[in-house]
């Protein structure tokens, strides 16, 4: 089973609720439990002596709508830890039968391309039509192409 307690695992599993994320307090750690084995990569700044208690970290949600298709970004949400993020995602993004599988990823863990670097990053392939199969003419006598 996934380390974060998969809500897709049916019924009976609630008896053995995954507790791997349970040690992460709802909200950033208090002084008594300043990190008791948090597995979450989104730690709310352990350097700060008085962490912001009011904010849950942000998670990005990916939903797979049926077998054979890939996960698609559906949106984001706040949750205290991965296990709750999965459940919140289930409640927020699969209320109308949208999914058969959910991924949640700490928003911090996603590295994004620089929106200002659009030119150097994405314009180079333009005009290079030889990178497309349609550029080439079919060789004579080749079957099944």
Partner 1 sequence: MTTPEQTEHTEETTGHGDISVGVAGSGDSSASATRITPGNALRPEDIALEVRTGLVKPSEDVAEYALRLGDDALILAQRLGHWISRAPELEEDVALGNIALDQLGHARSFLTYAGGAWEKSEDELAYFRREHEFRSAHLFEQPNGDFAVTIARQFVVSYYQFELYRRLTESTDATLAAIAAKAVKEVDYHRDHSAQWIIRLAQGTEVSREKMIHGLKLVWPYVAELFADDELTTRLADAGAAVEPSSLKADFDRLTGEILAEAELEVPETPAAPGGGRRGKHSEHLGYILAEMQVLAREHPGASW
Encoded one letter per residue, x for contact with partner 1 by CB under 8 A and - for no contact, window 2-21 reads -----x--xx-xxxxx-x--
Residue of 47, 48, 49, 96 that binds partner 1 (CB under 8 A) = 96
Contact flag: residue 111 with partner 1 (CB under 8 A): no
- φ, ψ (nearest 5 deg) of residue 129: -70, -10
33/129 with CB nearer partner 1: 33
- CA dist list (Å): 36 to 5, 19, 52, 118: 19, 12, 18, 43
- x/- letters, 56..95, toward partner 1 (CB under 8 A): x-----xx-xx-xxxxxxx--xxxx--xx--xx-xxxx-x
- The H or E element spanning position 63 is strand 58-64
Task: Answer for the pair 83, 18: CB distance below 8 angstroms, yes or no.
Answer: yes
The torsion angles phi and psi of 14, rounded to 5 degrees, stand at -65, -20
Residues that bind partner 1 (CB under 8 A): 7, 10-11, 13-17, 19, 22-27, 30, 32-33, 56, 62-63, 65-66, 68-74, 77-80, 83-84, 87-88, 90-93, 95-99
């Amino acid at each position: 089973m996934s380390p974060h307690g998969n809500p897709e695992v049916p019924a009976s599993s609630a008896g053995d609720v995954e507790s791997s994320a349970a040690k992460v307090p709802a909200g950033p750690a208090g002084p008594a439990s300043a990190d008791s084995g948090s597995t979450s990569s989104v730690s709310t700044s352990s350097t700060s002596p008085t962490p912001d208690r009011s904010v849950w970290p942000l998670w990005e949600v990916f939903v797979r709508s049926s077998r054979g298709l890939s996960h698609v970004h559906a949106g984001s949400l706040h949750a205290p830890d991965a296990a709750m993020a999965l459940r919140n995602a289930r409640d927020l993004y699969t209320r109308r039968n949208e999914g058969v599988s959910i991924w949640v990823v700490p928003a911090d863990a996603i590295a994004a391309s620089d929106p200002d670097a659009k030119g150097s990053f994405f314009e180079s392939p333009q005009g290079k039509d030889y990178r497309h199969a349609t550029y080439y003419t079919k060789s004579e006598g080749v079957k099944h192409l």
